[in-house]
Structure 1
Amino acid sequence: MTILIIAQHDCDSVDAATLKTIGAAQKIGADIHVLIAGHGAQRAADAAAKIAGVSNVLLADAPQLEAGLAENVEATVLPLASRYTHILAPATAFGKNVMPRIAAKLDVAQISDITAVVSDDTFERPVYAGNAIATVRSADRIKVVTVRATSFDAVSAVGGSAPVERIAAAPDSGLSRFVSRDATKLDRPELTNASIVVSGGRGLGSGENYAKVLAPLADKLGAALGASRAAVDAGFVPNDYQVGQTGKIVAPRLYVAVGISGAIQHLAGMKDSKVIVAINKDSEAPIFGIADYGIVGDLHEIVPAFIDAI
């Protein structure tokens, strides 16, 4: 079995989600190839070559691949597909954009958001907002799979010495064009990769309270900031802070939920956290059902006391 990983990268380095996808691939087979599709991406290819467990790196470098448009990435992958038994990518916005098109063009079923590898043709994935786990077996000749990165350990970014092979990029499909990208610059850890996450909900009351109460706690803990959908819908924070089924999936070592009731939509995105601390004035809030530690009371009093105690 030979496995192709479609890497998520910024042309300089390989994203942590890709390292975890390679971790998943190692549970399937040993011969792992990584595709770097981009423009001016030699440094990313060199970084991929150093990843432990990677046996070959394919570099497709062309202007039409710079923006990662699904149509152009898919057209570059298709001529390679027959070499592989599995094609994997992280279940990020990038992977969710590219992989369905590859699966459709190959006329195979995509296996989405896997959380465990049972065998080379059988995988586990969450359904019903994570309330049930489906075991899926695929008889397709090529398995097209997206990987929930939070469910797998990252491989080491160093220790490998794979060769880098340049391949031809497909011509521009002309089906879509890149217009612009607004990238958020963070002074904190990135939400999906953070080891500690502090999230706020509607119980904070306002965006001003969100910043006033949660930012000092996140600063003290060196944490990323997240939010429930209710807080995002209320305009407290931008939607890229959202944790949940329709937001980002996180599984940090420590998750602190402040003023979050624990709707099923939110729990689906954070219940795999190693330790969960909940602060809420409602003792019947569903969040306490999965919390390792719960504090019932006024968050405006508890959080400052929490900060002072750290």
Structure 2
Amino acid sequence: MTVQDVRAFNRFYTNVIGALDYSRHLYAPFTLTESRVLYELAHAPRTDAADLRAQLSLDAGYLSRILNKFEEDGLVERSPSETDPRRRRVTLTGRGRETAALLAERADRSVGALLGGVGAADRTRLAEALRTVREILSDGRPPRPEDVVLREPRPGDLGWIVQRNAALYAAEYGFNADYEGLVARIVADFGEDHDPHLERVWIAELDGRPVGCVMCVRDEAPGSARLRLLLVEPEARGLGVGDRLVGAVVGFARGAGYRDVVLWTNDILTAARRLYLRHGFALAAEKPHRSFGKDLNGQDWRLDLHRARE
């Protein structure tokens, strides 16, 4: 391969992207950089301004002007960081989340239209080629947190959630097939009947492969959302994936108007419990039980969204 080969491909791909973005309809009324800032905030709800600057390689003054504009337009809120008072935490408002979702929907439709003319076999080849490009040009470096993308599930992803939950919990905690049956019922209920305005699934993707998931569904108690099936693959642990997935549920539940978020877990899941504590969940009750072939201590956790906002 020569330099000219790479430049020729760049020209080709730039033309493809340009065709998708006719008259800047994808980003209007924002610039490409402003849209990217909104994207990062939507996928990492607990981001500091310094983190944004590093992730996007932006000049501090330029990013400050963008955030000032967003704040004036009611898209973001800024407050002192919980971990470092010298930093400023940036979060999307309800209006900001709606705007980011609209931009994401436009981009999905455009790329979907591009892929609409690509056959199933060629889609597989294309995915493999894109993954190969990323692997080669990454020069063997380890994955970074910014390499992980949170997205909505695609065909086959719900089945992946069942398979990976069953396999990981069997390998790491010795759970039997009863757990796989439970997960399958939860996923089937969501797939057959869910309200997209009140319920959602997130898939964490790294180099084109799913490496994590979480679900937000309506609880039996009116006004409560339930966090379910949080999972992070071993290869993606240490990249902040679990933190982002829990943050996505909390941000979505708050934007959807829920009063609180509840969840059930077992005390052997120590890493998950640390995440819940970090996001403000409190232990509400616990009870020993015999499930999945094991003697366990079940725990109910709750996050009061109104108190968390204060």
- Normalised to the residue count of structure 2, the TM-score between the two structures is 0.30
More helix by share: 2
Which has the bigger relative contact order, CA under 8 A and spacing at least 6?
Answer: 1
- Normalised to the residue count of structure 1, the TM-score between the two structures is 0.30
